[in-house]
Amino acid sequence: MHDDIEKHARKAATLAIDVRNVSMRFGAGKTAVHALDEIDLNVRPGEFVSIVGRSGCGKSTLLRCITNLLPPTSGDISVMGMSPGEYQKDKRFGFVFQDAALLPWKTAAENIQLAMQLSRHAPQAKRQQRVRDLLDLVRLSNFGNKYPAQLSGGMRQRVSIARALSYEPEILMMDEPFGALDEFTRREMHDELIRIHAERPHTVLFVTHSLSEALYLSDRIVVLAARPGRVKSIISVENPRPKGGIAHADTGYLRQLAELEELLHE
């Protein structure tokens, strides 16, 4: 028994995110929505894991449960060995959403600086240098004094990524971050994200509707099925991004893409 507890503690400490048997039901009786059903998944530190599935299969609900925005109806979640509530209080997740949600009356640099100020992360004297470093990281060194309306959609998402990284989160939660971008900008952002992840390794949980995006970016892909939302399959990407990205025409990539398509449409 004691061994079991110790084994579990060791396992929990080595996982960034550990979701065990999590179910989520909204409402009660006949109108209840069974959004998540006995979900099991884990993410190792530094791993890039995507969640894909049709609209309504519970992707955002799962993210909300993990980040303490929503208590699951049953099951256990631990984040770096802590409950989501403890983790959020102690460390904070980095968030990037589809809408960059920048304050329009503040410049790119001020938006990043404000996030640092609110999280009381870096000492005030160091904040300006940190903002410059982050703008460099997302390749916007010359745009720090521009307002969101003066930036393209891709640039706004770069600011949003810099803002999320400003308080050095261990875990980045990305919910359809490139969903509103055109295909060219989206691909450019994929390579940017791969580069940023290589320069500043952190754990990423990434929600997307795009199978090709998931395959291009991830180490593993969790495929959710809908009604109720459950894990249908977890796929290890054969040639994951640290090896320098995958050509979109690579045969392994195309085979895994077809496998994912089949899983989602069967």
Ligand X SMILES: Nc1ncnc2c1ncn2[C@@H]1O[C@H](COP(=O)(O)OP(=O)(O)OP(=O)(O)O)[C@@H](O)[C@H]1O
Backbone angles phi, psi at 88, to 5 degrees: -65, -35
- Residue 72 to residue 47: CA distance in whole angstroms: 24
CB of 22 to ligand X, least distance (A): 13
Strand segments, DSSP code E, in 33-93 are 33-43, 48-52, 74-79
CB of 39 to ligand X, least distance (A): 11
- Residue 59 to residue 225: CA distance in whole angstroms: 10
Neighbouring residues of 83: CB distance < 8 A, sequence distance ≥ 6: 68, 77
Binding letters toward ligand X, positions 125-144, x by CB under 6 A: --------------------
- Residue 135 to residue 162: CA distance in whole angstroms: 7
Residue 162 is a binding residue for ligand X (CB under 6 A): no
CB of 127 to ligand X, least distance (A): 34
CB of 105 to ligand X, least distance (A): 29
Q: Quick one: 60 or 210, whose CB is closer to ligand X?
A: 60
Q: Quick one: 39 or 217, whose CB is closer to ligand X?
A: 39
Question: According to CB under 6 A, which one of 26, 69, 124, 150 is a site residue for ligand X?
Answer: 26
Backbone angles phi, psi at 136, to 5 degrees: -60, -45
Q: Quick one: 69 or 118, whose CB is closer to ligand X?
A: 69
CB of 215 to ligand X, least distance (A): 18
**Of residues 27-66, those binding ligand X (CB under 6 A):** 33, 35, 53, 55-61
Backbone angles phi, psi at 24, to 5 degrees: -140, 125
Q: Quick one: 67 or 107, whose CB is closer to ligand X?
A: 67
Q: Quick one: 32 or 103, whose CB is closer to ligand X?
A: 32
Q: Is the dihedral of CA 216, 217, 219, 225 positive or negative?
A: negative
Binding site for ligand X (CB under 6 A): 26, 33, 35, 53, 55-61
